[in-house]
Amino acid sequence: MNDAVSRIYASGGDHKSQLEQLAELLKTVYNGDAPQSTDVTVLTNLVEAVVNKETGSLVVSRQFLGLIDQALEERPPTSQKLIEIVNSVLNVTQSRAISYEDQVTSLRLKLSHALETERRWCEAASALLAINLESSQRSHSSSFKMEMYLRMGQLYLEGDATDDAESSATRASLLQAEAKDEELNIEHKALMARVLDRRRRFIEAAQRYYELSQCAVVPSSDQLHAISAAMTCTILAAPGTQRTRLLAKLRKEERAKAIPSYTLLEKLFLERLIKVDELLDFEKDLKTWQRNFDNGQSIIRGVMVEHNMTAVGQVYSNIDLTTLAALLGVNEQEAERVAAQMISSDRLKGNIDQIGRYLHFAEKTAIEMWDDQIELFCRQVERAAEMIIARHPELDI
């Protein structure tokens, strides 16, 4: 190959003539009819001879790499073969990559796609990461750079590399103002929602998912998926003001009523007891990271035990710990521990009689009872309004 390339360069022809001869030589090396049978070693030798020849022109060698890229596009081999070919070509150009930025970028995009086809997610992301997006030789648009970082983040997530996914999402967020691309902004919001979900920062993830479900440009099927994800994350989130607000919003969402977890969400909002079988039905559809904390403790069971503890307080003035444990679906010691934690953190008002083995709920003040009555009245008015609008949609303004 080295001799053949030397003869072409020594022929004295112009760049066009040299490229035409190299193209003919490439055809003998890259089997267009059966590209998967191409001898990668021979092709690598040809690329080395063209790129490293001191007498050769950089213009010709760039165009030659473009021919290889074009051949892989028009007559693609199997993904495994393409990975082998592109890696070999990139290894040859590695020391002079700055001279072949356009060609290297195109080849790395093909490499990433092939690795993704093989489900080698993190390697596919690394192929994109190797693209010099901040090159001084070539100015990539903000939209292109943001698209690349978002793609890396999605691939890293598929490969369970949450740290790298979050890093890519953060880089993408810095380009939002410059890119000014609504579609990319939506992709970024979706990526961040997934990252926060994986991080078990459920209330933040739920807010992102809910925002996605309200975007008019998002397809209706994706909106429904976002609502479902928002409901799941809201149910898994720790109690608090933000969670209560989201519960209220999602309960009013008409599209949410067709989702299986809606009944559970409504019971959370109304502070009603949740049964074990309802919990099991919900838990079986959870993703791996949504099931347990790193210490192995079940996320949903911890949330539901605390919720049911509060719900019991709406019904009973006091209750023995044995009965309480049965209602919560835990043993007596666990019921006492949860009650003590909630009382000490002021999430539950009451006291524990450890001798009599009773939990006493504090009686509500007149103001608190008044607030409850107002809240109940408002809920009934809201329900009546919903029924009227369901019967007469033209009144919904």
- Mean pLDDT score of the chain: 87
Q: In 3-state terms, what secondary structure has residue 148?
A: helix
Encode burial over 244-267: b for 16+ CB neighbours within 10 A, e otherwise.
eebbebbbebeebeebebbebbeb
- Total residues found in the chain within this entry: 397
pLDDT tens track for 185-243:
999 999 999 999 999 999 999 999 999 999 988 999 999 999 999 999 999 998 878 88
Cα separation, 67 vs 56, whole angstroms: 16
Is residue 323 situated within a structural domain?
Answer: no
The number of CA neighbours under 13 Å toward the Cβ of 220 is 1
pLDDT given at position 95: 83
pLDDT given at position 366: 64
Is residue 384 situated within a structural domain?
Answer: yes
Is residue 343 situated within a structural domain?
Answer: no
Please, which residues bridge with residue 360 across strands?
A: 318, 351
What residues make up the domain containing 76? 1-115
Residue 363 has pLDDT above 70, yes or no: no
> Are residues 290 and 206 in contact, defined by beta-carbon separation less than 8 angstroms?
no
Listed residues 74, 93, 115: the one ending a domain: 115
| Segment 361-385 mean pLDDT | 74
Is residue 183 situated within a structural domain?
Answer: no
Least confident of 53-62, 90-99, 169-178: 53-62
pLDDT given at position 55: 59
143 confidence band (pLDDT: 50, 70, 90): very high
Residue 260 has what DSSP assignment? T
| Segment 30-44 mean pLDDT | 86
Is residue 15 situated within a structural domain?
Answer: yes
CA-angle at 19, arms to 16 and 22, nearest 5°: 155
Listed residues 97, 115, 133: the one ending a domain: 115
Is residue 196 situated within a structural domain?
Answer: no
Cα separation, 262 vs 381, whole angstroms: 21
Residue 376 has pLDDT above 80, yes or no: no
| Segment 386-397 mean pLDDT | 75
Is residue 4 situated within a structural domain?
Answer: yes
Number of domains in the chain: 2
Going by C-beta distance under 8 Å and a sequence separation of 6 or more, which residues neighbour residue 200? 236, 289, 290, 293, 299
Burial of 227 (0-12, 13-18, 19+ CB in 10 A): buried
Global confidence as pTM: 0.80
pLDDT given at position 46: 92
Listed residues 76, 96, 115: the one ending a domain: 115
Residue 19 has pLDDT above 60, yes or no: yes
Is residue 35 situated within a structural domain?
Answer: yes
Cα Dmax for the chain: 104
| Segment 67-87 mean pLDDT | 93
